[in-house]
A and B are shown apart, each in its own frame.
Chain A
Amino acid sequence: MVVVDASGLTKIYGQPCGECVDNTGPAVGDNQCPVCGSVVACADIDFELYDGEVLGIVGESGSGKSSLAELLALDSEATAGTVTYEHYDGNLLAAGYQQRHQLQNERIGMVHQHVRDGLELDFSGGGNVAEKLLAAGWREYDAIRDRVRELFTETEVPVSRMDDPTDTYSGGMQRRVQIARAIANDPSLVILDEPTTGLDVSVQARVLDMFRRIQREQDVATIVVSHDLDVIRLLADRTLVMRHGRIIESGLTDRIMEDPHHEYTQTLINSVI
């Protein structure tokens, strides 16, 4: 069953002149339109995501992968394109403020690259997770506490730290609290934006491992955005390779890693230390 079907997804910063998409991209080697100066973060993005599947999106800086993640998480507005989503009638990108918030609370979980975008640092870790439950209408304090403990255990954050302010947590713990938040209301789609960037190596393994387990157990459709091929290899069933705002190659993750077709993909694979 298709969870997300994206077509022609485009995000342009600035005042597009109409020729921006044609004048930018991997063929040109730039994201900025030479005519009007607008930046085409991503354009003409098409893909499908199925139930229980993990889709990887890999690319370097300027590839547009994070912009794409933000569009799908409904954190920013698209310039063009349609997204059909199993729990929404019509173009998901056209959803109004209220509906976006409801979807973000109940259906779509996002783990942000920068902790400030994902967590309220002066709330407790438990409070951050409780916020999702409260926004979905939970009104029994004890039940909320139980569910928060459950989610903390699931994401391997020490329950003893549940009531400490989030800004006292380590980077890895903060990331895991974000994951706990993202899965709190059993969403049908989770988006991870650079889930391990900035974390120590041992912590990275732990976060990925934990997320893999949760994803398999709950069979939740996931989009993982990362510049790190190892993260993609570990988590994703299929992968999109992005460059200068376009998808330049897509396929099974192991196929992309071992039999890259596109020149840029070959460079990328050959560059792994």
Chain B
Amino acid sequence: MILELDTVSKNFEMHVLDGRTVPGLSEVSFGVAEGEFVAIVGESGSGKSSLLKCINRTYEPTGGRIQLQTEDGAVDLASCGDREVLALRDQDIGYASQFLTEIPRVPAVDVVARPLWEQGADRAEARSQARTLLSALQLPESLWDAYPATFSGGERQRINFARAVAPQPRVLLLDEPTSALDPETRECALTLLDEYLDPATTVLGVFHNRAVVERVADRVVVLDDAELQRVVDIETYQSENPA
């Protein structure tokens, strides 16, 4: 198990609602083996994004443990220090939110190349790799040196996707990475995952589209109303939900 969630909970204390607690996740437990592709599905508001964010520590879990196996041993992402999280985000954990948050005046190619620079690659090399990825995602070459702020949703999503995938983290967290893509470009993105990523990469992805889930996932985690409903392998999921 590269990743093990043990009764992970996340509650939000909303001071604007006089301190009322809103549940995001309720005692979710499951494990992920190295190299697995796990799809996380569920209705809107069921806690899918919250789950990924807890693993990435963008949310601080209110309870439970998230054990990550690293080269230096096991780390509890739920309780470890901030600096440790930053170090892990460099190599071990990659995260793509649903939408690209722009950095002003950085061209698309540099947005994608940045995580590679930060890992130590030289600039030219990083840019070249970034271009390969953008090309694989069918982003028009004319846009590579432009600033993403005015791009369409689908274009931005592809840049976001490329950026998350580029540094090849050991665990990749994707939040609806293809929601804004048409079927053709979506297929490019998913193919990229197959071809670019190291087979040992573990992926947790939130998806709305069942076809995508069936295309990529090994196992499926189903959430309902902040709770874990069940975890099934992909064959079972397919048979449960016939087309």
A contacts B: CB pair < 8 Å = yes
At the interface, yes or no: A263 with Cβ under 8 Å from chain B?
yes
Check if A252 sits within 8 Å of B85, measured CB to CB: yes
Check if A255 sits within 8 Å of B83, measured CB to CB: no
Check if B16 sits within 8 Å of A252, measured CB to CB: no
At the interface, yes or no: B12 with Cβ under 8 Å from chain A?
yes
B7 to chain A, nearest CB (A): 19
The distance in angstroms between the C-alpha atoms of A234 and B106, with both chains bound, is: 12
Check if B58 sits within 8 Å of A259, measured CB to CB: yes
- Interface size counted on chain A using CB atoms at 8 A: 25
Check if B103 sits within 8 Å of A234, measured CB to CB: yes
With beta carbons under 8 angstroms apart, the residue of A208, A212, A255, A261 that contacts B58 is: A255
Using A208-B104, A209-B105 as known contacts, say yes or no to A266 and B15 having CB atoms under 8 A apart.
yes
A264 to chain B, nearest CB (A): 8
Using A50-B83, A252-B85, A252-B86 as known contacts, say yes or no to A259 and B60 having CB atoms under 8 A apart.
yes
At the interface, yes or no: A251 with Cβ under 8 Å from chain B?
yes
Check if B58 sits within 8 Å of A266, measured CB to CB: no
The distance in angstroms between the C-alpha atoms of A266 and B53, with both chains bound, is: 18
At the interface, yes or no: B118 with Cβ under 8 Å from chain A?
yes
Q: What residues of chain B lie closer than 8 Å to A258, measured between beta carbons?
A: 53, 58-59
B218 to chain A, nearest CB (A): 29
Contact flags B1-13 to A (C-beta < 8 A → 1, else 0): 0000000000011
At the interface, yes or no: A206 with Cβ under 8 Å from chain B?
yes
Closest Cβ neighbor of B83 among chain A residues: A50
At the interface, yes or no: A87 with Cβ under 8 Å from chain B?
no
B83 to chain A, nearest CB (A): 6
Q: What residues of chain A lie closer than 8 Å to B118, measured between beta carbons?
A: 216
Check if B105 sits within 8 Å of A255, measured CB to CB: no
The distance in angstroms between the C-alpha atoms of A229 and B14, with both chains bound, is: 20
Q: What residues of chain A lie closer than 8 Å to B83, measured between beta carbons?
A: 50, 53, 238
Using A206-B105, A216-B117, A252-B82 as known contacts, say yes or no to A259 and B59 having CB atoms under 8 A apart.
yes
Contact flags B72-113 to A (C-beta < 8 A → 1, else 0): 000000000011011000000000000001011110000000
Q: What residues of chain A lie closer than 8 Å to B117, measured between beta carbons?
A: 216
Q: What residues of chain A lie closer than 8 Å to B106, measured between beta carbons?
A: 209
Q: What residues of chain B lie closer than 8 Å to A234, measured between beta carbons?
A: 103-104
At the interface, yes or no: B208 with Cβ under 8 Å from chain A?
no
A189 to chain B, nearest CB (A): 17
At the interface, yes or no: B57 with Cβ under 8 Å from chain A?
yes
The distance in angstroms between the C-alpha atoms of A212 and B53, with both chains bound, is: 25
Closest Cβ neighbor of B149 among chain A residues: A205
Additional pairs, 15, CB under 8 Å, beyond known A259-B60, A266-B15: A53-B83, A53-B86, A212-B103, A216-B117, A216-B118, A233-B101, A252-B82, A255-B57, A255-B60, A258-B53, A259-B53, A259-B58, A261-B60, A266-B14, A267-B16
Could you list which residues of chain A lie within 8 angstroms of chain B, going by C-beta atoms?
A: 50, 53, 204-206, 208-209, 212, 216, 233-234, 237-238, 251-252, 254-255, 258-259, 261-263, 266-267, 270
Could you list which residues of chain B lie within 8 angstroms of chain A, going by C-beta atoms?
A: 12-16, 53, 57-60, 82-83, 85-86, 101, 103-106, 117-118
Top-9 shortest CB links A-B: A205-B104, A263-B15, A259-B59, A254-B58, A205-B105, A209-B105, A266-B15, A252-B82, A258-B58
23 pairs of residues in contact across A and B, judged by CB atoms under 8 Å: A50-B83, A53-B83, A53-B86, A204-B104, A208-B104, A216-B117, A216-B118, A234-B103, A234-B104, A237-B86, A252-B86, A254-B58, A255-B59, A255-B60, A258-B58, A258-B59, A259-B12, A259-B58, A261-B13, A262-B15, A266-B14, A266-B16, A270-B16
